[in-house]
Structure 1
């Protein structure tokens, strides 16, 4: 697979704590409620040094707090990358929004960026033998560089090793360090995602959620 490096500046971003007034001003009371729950989650998990517990708790938090809704219905756009605050405000998101919210939360909890990748896959709807597939995004976690990744998915509650997710066929993955492009990726797909990643970072800076 080919790794395409992103700008180093994207790897050094950190989340900033927002005031209740700022969150409510931006997105309303619904966002503030979930944001406060999110802050409480961070407080609890910072006391727990077990990284696997953090992975499981963050996955569970967003799978419970957010409802899965496609962009066309939620944002009236074919493809929209919501910031974690936007997802909290809506109480919903699509697969990309789930993966991104989990990614930034785990980074805030100190999980190294090299251990996390957003992965675009072709998901077989109905199981590994199903002929029906759709584009999908998950977040993966590597305990070690050569370890089998764990898959954090918006469609199922449990976290499973990649070898147990025969319904997912990876296409390409990325994080703040780079893009890993597989043979099945469309020519412009990774470049398009890099552009959307930069746009997402810009929106989060405008919110004051990252510095």
Structure 2
């Protein structure tokens, strides 16, 4: 299991870098039309609310942005990949997650990650973390926010909606964390060592294409 998590993380180091380096101007008319055609009017409302949050809340303090984004996505429904996508493991883009209004723990964490990046949170302050949930006795994903390089992270989670410092989440054991810059192997809350991997997983290769605003806006 650990090797699979490390492999997935390694691929996302590449994909996140590609995606976050590309920031074409968003065409809301096309985005709304695409959402209406693929989903429904309720999905259109969610997409508009999502983009309004990003456009209008840029000046908030960082921790207020965390609360806003965490609350926005935690209203969504948890749905297993096999039920939603017919696959054991599928990482939805934020557009897919918002369109359907549901997904599993990876989808919650990824949507929060990208949204906070768009709200101006520096990438080095954010990490996606694979953890072992002792309460559920299963692997789980959360988003961690580091106010400084050496500080204890705050945990954004769809299971426990309250943002808490990692030391208060005794129900979680961190295994692997990563962002668009680095991969960390970690078994202690708030601490870890940098790691590298050349592993690749073909299943994830199309994520950057599916979420690239540049490609999306080029569709007619």
> Structure 2 length normalisation: TM-score?
0.78
RMSD (Å), alpha carbons: 2.9
1:208 match: secondary structure: helix
Q: Which residue of 2 aligns with 1:80?
A: 90
Alignment CA distance shift 1:203-1:167 (3 Å): same
Is 1:55 aligned with 2:66?
A: yes
2:212 corresponds, among 187, 205, 211, to 205
Separation in 2 of the partners of 1:140 and 1:10?
A: 20
Unaligned 5+ runs, structure 1: 126-131
Please give the secondary structure, in 2, of the residue aligned with 1:156.
coil
User: Deviation digits for residues 76-105 of structure 1, max 9, x if unmatched?
Assistant: 110010011111111101000000000000
Deviations 1:171-196 (A, max 9, x none): 10111112112479xxxx9946x655
Match of 2:121 in 1: 111
**Is the Cα contact below 8 Å between 2:79 and 2:104 reproduced in 1?**
yes
Structure 1 Cα separation of the partners of residues 78 and 164 of structure 2: 20
**Quick check: 1:150 aligned with 2:157?**
no
- Structure 2 Cα separation of the partners of residues 168 and 44 of structure 1: 34
What are the superposed Cα offsets for residues 119-165 of structure 1, whole Å, 9 maximum, x if unpaired? 0000012xxxxxx5101000000011111100000111100000000
SS in 1 for 2:128: strand
**Partner of 1:129 in structure 2?**
none
The correspondence for 1:168, drawn from 169, 172, 184, is 172
Alpha carbons of structure 1 residues 145 and 15: separation in structure 2 relative to 1, 3 Å = farther
Work out whether residues 121 and 168 of structure 1, in 8 Å CA contact, stay in contact via their aligned partners in 2: yes
Please give the alpha-carbon distance, in whole angstroms, between the structure 2 residues aligned to 1:209 and 1:167: 42
Match of 1:13 in 2: 22
Q: What is the rounded CA distance, in whole Å, between the counterparts of 2:129 and 2:42 in structure 1?
A: 29
* Structure 2 segments unaligned to the other structure (5+ residues): 1-5, 189-196
CA-CA distance at 1:46 after TM superposition: 1.7
Q: Is the 8 A contact 2:93 2:107 kept in 1?
A: yes
Mapping of residues 181-200 of structure 1, within 5 Å? 181-182=185-186, 191=199, 198-200=205-207
Following superposition, the deviation at residue 33 of structure 1 comes to 1.5
> Residues 77 and 190 (structure 1 numbering): CA distance in 2 closer, same or farther, change over 3 Å?
farther
